[in-house]
Structure 1
Amino acid sequence: MTYLKTTPTREGFFGSYGGAVLPPPLEPHFAEIREAYDRISKSADFIRELRYIRTHFQGRPTPVSYLRNLSDLCGGAQIYAKREDLNHTGAHKLNHCMAEGLLAKFMGKTKLMAETGAGQHGVALATAAAYFGMECEIHMGEIDIAKEAPNVTRMKLLGATVVPVSFGGRSLKEAVDSCFESYIAQADHALFAIGSVVGPHPFPMMVRNFQHVVGVEAREQFLDMTGELPDMVAACVGGGSNAMGIFSGFIEDDVALYGVEPAGTSSNLGDHAASIAYGEDGDIHGFRTIVLKDAKGEPAPVHTVASGLDYPGVGPEHAHLHRSGRVTYTTADDTEALKAFFELSRREGIIPALESAHAVAFAMREARANPGKSILVNLSGRGDKDIDYVTETFGFGEAL
């Protein structure tokens, strides 16, 4: 049987990672979600409606673009991009949000809830809630609210209630904590639509499977464009949903897969969010994975220029793929990501999300060392949300 059909186990484990450790009040609700997903994931009605939504609402398939100018600049390998920035709402997040909304509708839920970092998941879920006629509640750290103001406005325009999170590091981890606490009291009528391949089972599996469309499309498109598969596929990794989406399309092929974590400003704890590079095995938000820990063994503070990557853990499947050696995990720092942001904008007319710019930075770096090879980057989102923050903080890249 194929990898995707056998991984994870029925209990939600990817090797020794994953599972579900839940407060007793939430156990029956997550069991309900697992049972509902098992029933509808192979349902012709569900698949037909999801395909309709992807084609006629999201605008899928998104294209693969050959980045000729960037390839010429770097020399060496030829660089391509899977254009999830052209998915409706501007990122890959809508792929699983519309599916989670459809799941919630099937379950008879009336409200969608979630955390968000960069705001793309929040915008996507607010969009799904509007489409399905549901309420929407989004928890977002105060630091990210300030950095990602355009997305906050979009969420509110779409009818969502945005809950500012003011405790702790006031970023993505705390937004997850806050949303879980709020969800406990609303689980009878709400679905907590977790925004990445993280959280208790079945979410790491469900979100990967809903994002699998990215990898399926990219594989077919690249073959059609070039007559062969790419030599390397790269994606940024925070929680890791966009990466698992594209990796899942190539997981059984002889293709080198690379996850690019945010190295921030230094290797010191609190200056980066590179969980695999610097973390250790541990538990966070109801599942086992690789976690950045402080001196007390608690999830550590993190930093990255990209709000969507500032999580002190990683999806359990990424931890498993790292331990098994199937995926190579590396890093790009803030300066590299910002340089890639400006170069892609000016050389190709594509303004990337800061999260995606980490993968672009990897491709630019590796292209020089791999002449005659091809690199496919998952351009997971567009940078409209980042332009105010970037230009106000870093100008137009003159000092980089």
Structure 2
Amino acid sequence: MSYHITRKLEEQGSAAEYKLSRSNFVPDENGYYGRFGGAYIPEMLHRNVEELRTRYLEIMHEPSFQGEYQQLLHDYVGRPTPLYFAERLSRQYGTQIFLKREDLCHTGAHKVNNTVGQILLALRLGKKRIIAETGAGQHGVATATVCALKGIECIVYMGEKDIERQAPNVARMKMLGAKVIPATSGSKTLKDATNEAIRDWINNPHDTHYIIGSVVGPHPYPDMVARFQSVISKEVRWQLKEKTGSELPGKVIACVGGGSNAAGAFYHFLDEKSVELIAVEAAGEGVHSGKSAATTQLGRDGVLHGSRSLVMQTEDGQVVEPHSISAGLDYPGIGPLHAHLFDSGRGRFLSATDEEALKAAFEVAKLEGIIPALESAHAFSALNQLELKKEETIVICLSGRGDKDLATYMRVMEQNDEI
């Protein structure tokens, strides 16, 4: 049995902080962005999701919650992260390129913005145990980090294939005290890790909180994660004002798997029609190669992991195994907000192959002295697909650092002396 959650969201808080309450880009009373979203969940999870849905906004607006959350973002995570003018990259492409340096967050990626918020929420809900899924490992590390910070049990599900290709992050999770459980079914990647985490939650509904790492899952997760990640675009607005005299860039570019870094980078620009929002998906070995994760180009309406969105699937509704060199983009769906941005035309969705992402990563490393995560490298590859103007301001969300991907980069360098 599934429950389709229905409840009118009660938007609280200041108009400045939550000015999107009357926007077309927040979920409606049923948790939908356009035709995408909702909550399709097993009966055993109904109590958990209902509790979260009825209390998340209330808790997030409590002065004590905001005080602790903002303090941790500043003193522990290291926010605000810099908005860096990439001078050599700008000269290369004949435009003004700024990098939002989420790679400089504690744990090395944007994921910790969300896990800090969710651990505080879980504690206020009286939960004693945390579970999470992870692909690239950055969300797993961020979850293990906040669980260590607060002294709470942590279990992370990770595809067996991803455990092999993201070994440094697995070691970090274990050192932080988390138990890493391999997902051995299907493609042994992010989709399968998510399946295992949901099974765990079903079996432990009363004392466990599931920290979902992206803007996916049943309502209210897509909205909640987007709100926690919205600090990215909130900072970009005032930082860009300081640097250029205008809060509004011409383009904001971010990579998209499920889409949490993109949701955060886009959030405070969603209703600014002059700002072009560009999402870059993973084309793998080619969009139509059979080894791709370009959901908006290959997917159609379906339900995956608790919400209706665009899903890569066969004619009879079986999920198609995705592929990307980047473990964090290796997902057969996309968050319902992003599906709505694509469907409505508000967002422009591009894709980059493994080869194009690698080329972009080495270019950024050599021009700016920054080694990006393979996920972020997909965003940089968009620069070769866009018509750029000299006077235009472009913000790229540099969502994570490339330490975890060094083994992949090393293999590429061994195979290609010209890089």
Q: Which residue of structure 1 aligns with residue 223 of structure 2? A: 205
Verify: 1:223 aligned to 2:265, yes or no. Answer: no
| 1:199-348 matches, cutoff 5 A | 199-228=217-246, 229-253=248-272, 254-268=274-288, 270-348=290-368
Change in Cα spacing, 1:336 to 1:299, as seen in structure 2 (3 Å) is same
Verify: 1:120 aligned to 2:126, yes or no. Answer: no
What one-letter code is carried by the residue in structure 2 that aligns with 1:132?
A: K
What one-letter code is carried by the residue in structure 2 that aligns with 1:318?
A: H
CA distance in 2, matches of 1:395, 1:294: 37
Residue 22 of structure 1 aligns to a residue in which SS?
strand
How many angstroms does 1:394 deviate by? Answer: 4.7
Residue 74 of structure 2 aligns to a residue in which SS?
helix
Change in Cα spacing, 1:287 to 1:142, as seen in structure 2 (3 Å) is same
CA distance in 1, matches of 2:418, 2:298: 29
How many angstroms does 1:3 deviate by? Answer: 3.3
Q: Which residue of structure 1 aligns with residue 158 of structure 2? A: 140
Q: Which residue of structure 2 aligns with residue 352 of structure 1? A: 372
Residue 325 of structure 2 aligns to a residue in which SS?
coil
Change in Cα spacing, 1:204 to 1:348, as seen in structure 2 (3 Å) is same
Verify: 1:395 aligned to 2:411, yes or no. Answer: no
Verify: 1:188 aligned to 2:212, yes or no. Answer: no
CA deviations over 1:183-205 (Å, ceiling 9, x no partner): 11122111011110000000000
CA contact (8 A) 2:309 2:335 kept: yes
Residue 207 of structure 1 aligns to a residue in which SS?
helix
Change in Cα spacing, 1:398 to 1:52, as seen in structure 2 (3 Å) is same
CA contact (8 A) 2:108 2:401 kept: yes
What one-letter code is carried by the residue in structure 1 that aligns with 2:379?
A: A
Superposition misfits of 4+ residues, deviation over 6 angstroms: none
Which structure ranks higher in relative contact order (CA pairs < 8 Å, sequence separation ≥ 6)?
Answer: 1
Verify: 1:176 aligned to 2:191, yes or no. Answer: no
Unaligned stretches of 5+ in structure 1? none
CA distance in 2, matches of 1:265, 1:207: 30
Q: TM-score, normalising length from structure 2?
A: 0.92
Residue 80 of structure 2 aligns to a residue in which SS?
coil
How many angstroms does 1:36 deviate by? Answer: 2.5
CA contact (8 A) 1:36 1:103 kept: no
CA distance in 2, matches of 1:157, 1:313: 31
Q: Considering only aligned residues, what root-mean-square deviation do their CA atoms show, in Å?
A: 1.5
CA distance in 2, matches of 1:183, 1:394: 42
Change in Cα spacing, 1:79 to 1:365, as seen in structure 2 (3 Å) is farther
Q: Which residue of structure 2 aligns with residue 89 of structure 1? A: 107
Residue 41 of structure 2 aligns to a residue in which SS?
coil
CA contact (8 A) 2:44 2:205 kept: no
CA deviations over 1:346-367 (Å, ceiling 9, x no partner): 111111000000111113443x
CA contact (8 A) 2:132 2:156 kept: yes
Residue 146 of structure 1 aligns to a residue in which SS?
helix
**For 2:86, which of 51, 67, 91 is the aligned residue?**
67
CA contact (8 A) 1:111 1:129 kept: no
Unaligned stretches of 5+ in structure 2? 1-14
Q: Which residue of structure 2 aligns with residue 108 of structure 1? A: 126
**For 1:29, which of 48, 52, 62 is the aligned residue?**
48
CA deviations over 1:50-104 (Å, ceiling 9, x no partner): 0010011111000011111112223x22211000000110000000001000001
What one-letter code is carried by the residue in structure 2 that aligns with 1:281?
A: D
- The count of aligned residue pairs is 398
What one-letter code is carried by the residue in structure 2 that aligns with 1:373?
A: E
CA distance in 2, matches of 1:397, 1:225: 39
Q: TM-score, normalising length from structure 1?
A: 0.96
Greater shift, 101-110 or 356-365, is seen at 356-365
CA deviations over 1:249-276 (Å, ceiling 9, x no partner): 2112221110111111112263110101
Q: Which residue of structure 1 aligns with residue 59 of structure 2? A: 40
CA distance in 2, matches of 1:395, 1:240: 32
Residue 268 of structure 2 aligns to a residue in which SS?
coil
Greater shift, 236-245 or 39-48, is seen at 39-48
CA distance in 2, matches of 1:272, 1:231: 29
Change in Cα spacing, 1:365 to 1:108, as seen in structure 2 (3 Å) is same
What one-letter code is carried by the residue in structure 2 that aligns with 1:78?
A: Q
Q: Which residue of structure 1 aligns with residue 4 of structure 2? A: none
CA distance in 2, matches of 1:176, 1:287: 13
CA contact (8 A) 1:148 1:389 kept: no
What one-letter code is carried by the residue in structure 2 that aligns with 1:9?
A: D
Greater shift, 383-392 or 210-219, is seen at 383-392
CA distance in 1, matches of 2:341, 2:309: 11
Q: Kindly, what percent of the aligned residue pairs are identical? A: 45
Residue 159 of structure 1 aligns to a residue in which SS?
coil
